[in-house]
Structure 1
């Protein structure tokens, strides 16, 4: 299993590297915003995390669309709107993972310090959410043009594979 995972990473090194850099920028936006809201503005942990993740998601969308997956873009603004909605939707799944980790830390284990919030939400939660987001963005949001549902529905009768008579 580890060997196959390493092979996949090698085959997608450029994509993974770009995704990691864009994610690093998003992560910085998330952590800095979260800590400013928590420590300087006194915003409670869960609302601060939702706000910081929303800002980070917008930054990550722009970076992934314009750099990581730019070769997969289709022409037209409708596609951009569709991709943005898909990106936000799948990002909410990642946000839910991070919020769940923060919630378990606070409400199950009773850890409510700023350090505990950062470890559970910005380290553990981010790790799980990053793996989920990579899969979702790659397979659901930034598909190559021929793999989109709209493109598959455009196959005409003469392009469809021939079936042999039984």
Structure 2
């Protein structure tokens, strides 16, 4: 149980860093090269870019810190699965906001932020669970690479 709690704490720390990166990249792009005054769909593209950057940052943090004991020797498939799960979490957050805002008609800033928090929590639980049981599951990871044994040859 102690290991799970430590892993959850690391997962939360990585997620917090990813959130800061996402917000910073989004706002930087939106204020400069993808400003809505210059590019009509600028905020949309700024969000796409910031999400991609944040997913990469989160993958690196989770691969090398949160799930370091379970990471695979080959990163390609792990990375693809990580992105799929991350996008699934994003869909959960967007669906929560969509139901609240459009289906239920709760359109105030407070309502949108509450829906965003609920979606973030649900998406985070979904992502952690799938990272743990699918992407970084111990049975799916390769055995650790061992250094070759050096032997001395007598002259």
TM value normalised by structure 2: 0.70
Of the candidates 19, 26, 39, which is equivalent to residue 27 of structure 1?
19
* DSSP-derived class of the 2:137 partner: coil
Q: What is the aligned residue count?
A: 136
CA RMSD of aligned residues (A): 3.1
* DSSP-derived class of the 1:26 partner: helix
Q: CA offsets, 1:6-36, max 9 Å, x none?
A: xx5x4512111111111111222334455x2
**Greater helix share, 1 or 2?**
1
User: Which stretches in structure 1 are left out of the alignment for 5+ residues?
Assistant: 1-7, 152-166
Q: CA offsets, 1:50-91, max 9 Å, x none?
A: 54433322211110001111111232xxx2000000001111
Comparing 93-102 with 43-52, greater Cα deviation is found at 43-52
Match of 1:65 in 2: 63
User: Which stretches in structure 2 are left out of the alignment for 5+ residues?
Assistant: 144-155
Tell me whether 1:105 sits opposite 2:97 in the alignment.
no
TM value normalised by structure 1: 0.66
* DSSP-derived class of the 1:72 partner: coil
Q: How does 1:124-163 map to 2 (within 5 A)?
A: 124-144=118-138, 147-148=139-140
| Residues 15, 136 of structure 1: alpha-carbon distance in 2 compared, 3 angstrom cutoff | same
